[in-house]
Amino acid sequence: MQTLSARDAKYNFGRLIDTARAEPVTVEKHGRAVVVVLAVEEYERLKAIESERSAKASRSGEKK
């Protein structure tokens, strides 16, 4: 995972987008990680996993 400063992300936004399409990018402000930028496909994949886990948890809760 690459890391960029907020300043670099701002002034090289096109590079940030291109890099984030290949791998998540951590953006730091004052040396502290504040956000991760990732491709929409990866975000959708993670949301699907989360939804699946929530559905399984709901089903197991209903069986009790």
* pTM of the shown model: 0.78
Report whether pLDDT(43) > 60. Answer: yes
**Domain of 14, in residue numbers:** 2-63
Report whether pLDDT(51) > 60. Answer: yes
**C-alpha to C-alpha distance for 13 and 18, rounded to whole angstroms:** 9
Q: What is the model's pLDDT at position 62?
A: 63
CATH of the domain at 37: 3.40.1620.10
The tens digit of pLDDT for each residue in 8-34 reads 999 999 999 999 999 999 999 999 999
- Residues near 3 by beta carbon (within 8 Å), at least 6 away in sequence: 25, 26, 27, 28, 33
Q: Into how many domains does the chain fold?
A: 1
